[in-house]
Amino acid sequence: MADPTKKWSDNVPGKYYVDDQCIDCDACRTEAPDNFRRNDDHGYSYVYKQPTTPDELEKCTTAMEACPVEAIGTDG
């Protein structure tokens, strides 16, 4: 389970976040490419844009469920 005290500072404020357990597997970026990006310097994903539509919300939820190390969390 993702730890909100260990989320990357790159995450934009909002419900979804990625924490330091991320292994850079690309699952979230594949599932929700409009919302997740890669930090190329350090090799991890982060939330670039919080979901604003039902479609984006569904994709972010799918990305969270697809994360093999449960590094994606929600604040609500």
pLDDT at 76: 65
Cβ within 8 Å of residue 50, ≥6 positions away: 12, 13, 14, 15, 16, 35
Instruction: Report the half-sphere exposure of 55 (CA within 13 A, side-chain side).
Output: 2
> What is the percent of the chain with per-residue pLDDT over 90, rounded to a whole number?
96
What is the span of the domain harbouring residue 26? 4-74
Task: Report the domain count for the chain.
Answer: 1
Cβ within 8 Å of residue 48, ≥6 positions away: 12, 35, 36, 37
Residue 14 sits in a domain of what CATH number? 3.30.70.20
Average pLDDT, the chain: 97
Structure-block tokens of residue 19 = 């924490």
**pLDDT tens, 27-52?**
999 999 999 999 999 999 999 999 99
> What are the backbone dihedrals phi and psi of residue 17, each rounded to the nearest 5 degrees, phi first?
-155, 165
